[in-house]
Amino acid sequence: MSAFGSFDDEEFQEFAKHVNAVVSGDQLKTEVKKSVKNVGETYKRNAQANTPVKTGDLRRSWQLKGPFFSGSDITVELRNSKNYASFVENGHRQKVGQYVPVIGKRLKASWVPGQHFLQKATDQTSSQMPQLLTPIVWDMMRRLMDD
């Protein structure tokens, strides 16, 4: 017996076993994977909605891969397979005076500003994160507290 007396930690030990079972089980990993995939799908929808449309190819070329687990990190990868996507996003130079048959005109500006559709999608998705993740976090907390 210590100077502070004795205490029964049986309930705490049971709770610790329960938390360990929930955390180490596949159920928690599956839920986290689903929620991260949901965030990725929302990001993809936001990117598609913000992507400018001329032919629709750029908008249709978004691809979502993952989620991927690496240590304590969970990531998804959003890509656009069109090689010109970065030029539309960030802007590009062009040769003034060059004739472009597709538009039937000569180029007048040396710089075409970017449309920043991916940046807009990133901002939108970031602002939606609390609504996307809070219900899942509360659900996990409830599972940890349930007997």
Distance of CA 96 to the CA centre of its chain: 39
Query: Which one, of 136, 146, 145, lies nearest residue 35 by Cα?
Result: 136
pLDDT at residue number 64: 97
Q: What is the pLDDT of residue 3?
A: 66
> pLDDT averaged over consecutive 10-residue blocks of the chain (147 residues)?
69 79 73 88 97 94 93 90 96 96 94 96 93 79 71
Can you tell me the distance from the alpha carbon of 32 to that of 105, in angstroms, rounded to the nearest whole number? Answer: 52
The residues, any chain, with a CB within 8 Å of residue 24's CB and separated by 6 or more, are: none
Distance from C-alpha of 48 to C-alpha of 36, rounded to nearest angstrom: 18
What pLDDT is recorded for position 60? Answer: 96
